[in-house]
């Protein structure tokens, strides 16, 4: 198929998605409408991303991290690449340092203060298997490992990160979010696990929730955890008491829910087979779909800034969409 035909097909999908968004109305009479404003396709397999100002750091499983200038979303330009980051699965950027999780190649640190010329700083060599997601907070970072569990990492010397503590489990550690002294970790077959990390050398499990299925991505907003279950959909969990999480509701999107970000009362969810969904979660017991868009691809990563959504969409690369909520 020619590029022109492919783009025409994509436009058709978007128009259908817009119509669907208009007829899907939430409990408050709201609907979400999406508009694609940019895309970048280079043949790689986009799986995760981070946005810093006008720059996108796009993890491509085969090529590694590609750095893009998105100041003009209609004309996205590649300005750099972080070498030796093949099989990258996650990236975090804080204070000009990029932390790249590369499956079998470990966690690597790069100076990206000049995005066009990344500089290698060091790597974390103590992981037990397949780093997945990393969250740095000051001189301490938190790493999930697909086959190794959960590590607390000393970042005080970027050239030589070292392990401070660890939590091991039979479940595959996938995502992590940090709130004060708590780490919310999804374990693929063990659900949501909540750890007290006030003593970084000795993380302690204080609570959890396992609804069955295969948990992966999550987003924690104040006292609510939004947990993606690849089999069961989006789970909404009250974590007011971390020792006793309570399931509030589930949005069943079908097999393939793999990412979530929450803006106000709307959860934006990516789904392997259905694309990008907008879910009204104002009533957690009765989440309602109020918009969607899909033009092919296989979305794996999601980022939201203001009214703009960035999707790492597999072989369809990077997609940038603007959304609006209508009454």
Higher pLDDT, 126 or 197: 197
Higher pLDDT, 327 or 117: 117
Tokens read off for 212: 């069955």
Contacts 24+ apart (CB under 8 A), 111-118: 112/57, 112/67, 112/82, 115/55, 115/67, 115/79, 115/80, 116/67, 116/79, 116/80, 117/80, 118/67, 118/80, 118/81, 118/82, 118/83
Instruction: Report d(CA 167, CA 86) in Å as an integer.
Output: 26
How large is the average pLDDT for residues 219-226?
Answer: 97
DSSP, residue by residue, 103-133: GGGEEEEEE-SSTTS-EEEEEE---SS-EEE
pTM above 0.85, yes or no: yes
Tell me: the pLDDT tens digits for 184-215?
Answer: 999 988 899 999 999 999 999 999 999 888 99
Looking at every residue in the chain, the average pLDDT score rounds to 89
């Amino acid at each position: 198929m020619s590029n022109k035909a492919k783009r025409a097909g994509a436009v058709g999908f978007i128009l259908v998605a817009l119509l669907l968004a208009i007829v899907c109305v939430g409990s408050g009479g709201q609907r979400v409408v999406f508009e694609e404003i940019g895309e970048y396709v280079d043949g790689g397999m986009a799986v995760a991303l981070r946005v810093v100002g006008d720059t996108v750091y796009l993890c491509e499983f085969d090529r590694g991290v590609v750095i893009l200038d998105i100041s003009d979303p209609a004309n996205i330009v590649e300005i750099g690449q972080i070498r030796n980051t093949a099989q990258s699965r996650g990236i975090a950027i804080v204070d000009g340092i990029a932390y790249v999780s590369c499956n079998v190649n470990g966690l690597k640190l790069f100076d990206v203060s000049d995005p066009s010329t990344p500089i290698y700083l060091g790597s974390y060599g103590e992981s037990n298997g397949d780093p997945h997601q990393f969250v740095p907070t000051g001189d301490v970072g938190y790493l999930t490992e697909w086959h190794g569990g959960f590590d607390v990492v000393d970042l005080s010397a970027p050239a030589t990160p070292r392990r401070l503590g660890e939590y091991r489990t039979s479940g595959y550690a996938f995502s992590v979010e940090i709130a004060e002294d708590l780490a919310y970790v999804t374990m693929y077959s063990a659900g949501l696990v909540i750890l007290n990390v006030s003593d970084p050398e000795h993380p302690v499990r204080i609570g959890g929730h396992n609804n069955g299925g295969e948990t992966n991505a999550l987003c924690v907003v104040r006292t609510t955890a939004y947990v993606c279950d690849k089999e069961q959909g989006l789970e909404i969990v009250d974590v007011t008491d971390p020792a006793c999480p309570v399931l509030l509701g589930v949005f069943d999107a079908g097999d393939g829910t793999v990412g979530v970000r929450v803006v106000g009362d709307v959860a934006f969810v990516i789904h392997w087979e259905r694309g990008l969904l907008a879910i009204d979660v104002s009533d957690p017991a009765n989440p309602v779909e109020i918009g969607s868009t899909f033009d092919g691809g296989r979305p794996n990563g999601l980022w939201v800034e203001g009214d703009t959504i960035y999707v790492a969409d597999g072989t369809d690369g990077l997609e940038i969409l603007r959304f609006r909520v209508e009454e």
